[in-house]
C-alpha cells in the first residue's frame, strides 16, 4: 500500500467482527511501533498486547472511550522513570508521551496496511488500566489501541482546512 493511500485511508474503526487477530500480526504491529522516531532515541516505550477475553473485559470496564468488542487491545506504555533518568523533566513530561503517540500512529498505519481496523483510545482510567496490566512502578499506559477485523469502516470525518500559514502566522499566501 502506498504511504499516502495508508495515511488517507485509515479510519478509526469501532465495530469489529468476531475473529481473532493472529499473534504474528500483532507482533508485527508492535514492531512497526518500535520503528517510530524517539526523542533522544530513548525508546522508553513498552507495549502490552491484550487478547484474553477476561483481560479485555476488565479494560473495557474502565475505558469509556473503548467502543465495540475488539479481539485485541495494545496498550502503548511509557516507562516514565527511565524517561526521566534519560531525559530529565523534558524526557518524562514531553518526549515520552510524544514518542508513544508516534509509535501509535505507526501501529495504526501498519494495521491498516494489513486490512485491520484500529481506534486510538485516550478516554480510559490510567491507574485502573495500569493495575489490570500489572505495570511496574513508574510505567504508565499513554494510549490504548483497539485492533480487529473491521465490521464497519466509517466515512472519513471532514478535515479542517485553512491550516497553513507561510513564514509567519496568519500569512496565507
Give residues in contact with ligand FMN (CB under 6 A): 11-12, 14, 65, 67, 119-123, 156-157
Q: How far is the CB of 146 from ligand FMN (least distance, A)?
A: 8
Q: In terms of CB distance, is 86 or 144 closer to ligand FMN?
A: 144
d(CA 167, CA 8) in angstroms, rounded, equals 27
Q: In terms of CB distance, is 77 or 86 closer to ligand FMN?
A: 77
Q: How far is the CB of 23 from ligand FMN (least distance, A)?
A: 25
Q: Which residues contact 35 (CB under 8 A, 6 or more apart)?
A: 106
Q: In terms of CB distance, is 119 or 133 closer to ligand FMN?
A: 119
C-alpha dist (Å) from residue 139 to 68, 107, 126: 27, 20, 10
Which residue's C-beta sits nearest to ligand FMN? 65
Q: How far is the CB of 72 from ligand FMN (least distance, A)?
A: 16
The cell numbers describing 152, all together, are 464497519
The cell numbers describing 84, all together, are 526521566
Q: How far is the CB of 164 from ligand FMN (least distance, A)?
A: 19
Q: In terms of CB distance, is 16 or 86 closer to ligand FMN?
A: 16
Q: In terms of CB distance, is 12 or 55 closer to ligand FMN?
A: 12
Q: How far is the CB of 110 from ligand FMN (least distance, A)?
A: 15
Amino acid at each position: 500500500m502506498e504511504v499516502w493511500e495508508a495515511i488517507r485511508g485509515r479510519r478509526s474503526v469501532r465495530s469489529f467482527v468476531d475473529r481473532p487477530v493472529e499473534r504474528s500480526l500483532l507482533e508485527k504491529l508492535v514492531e512497526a511501533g518500535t520503528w517510530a522516531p524517539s526523542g533522544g532515541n530513548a525508546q522508553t516505550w513498552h507495549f502490552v498486547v491484550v487478547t484474553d477475553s477476561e483481560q479485555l473485559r476488565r479494560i473495557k470496564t474502565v475505558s469509556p472511550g473503548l467502543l465495540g468488542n475488539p479481539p485485541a487491545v495494545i496498550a502503548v506504555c511509557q516507562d516514565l522513570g527511565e524517561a526521566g533518568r534519560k531525559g530529565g523533566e523534558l524526557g518524562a513530561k514531553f518526549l515520552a508521551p510524544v514518542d508513544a503517540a508516534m509509535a501509535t500512529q505507526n501501529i495504526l498505519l501498519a494495521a491498516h496496511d494489513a486490512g485491520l481496523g484500529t481506534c486510538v483510545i485516550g478516554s480510559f482510567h490510567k491507574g485502573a488500566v495500569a493495575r489490570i496490566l500489572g505495570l511496574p512502578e513508574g510505567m504508565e499506559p499513554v494510549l490504548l489501541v483497539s485492533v480487529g477485523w473491521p465490521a464497519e469502516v466509517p466515512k472519513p470525518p471532514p478535515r479542517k482546512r485553512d491550516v497553513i500559514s507561510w513564514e509567519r502566522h496568519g500569512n496565507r499566501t
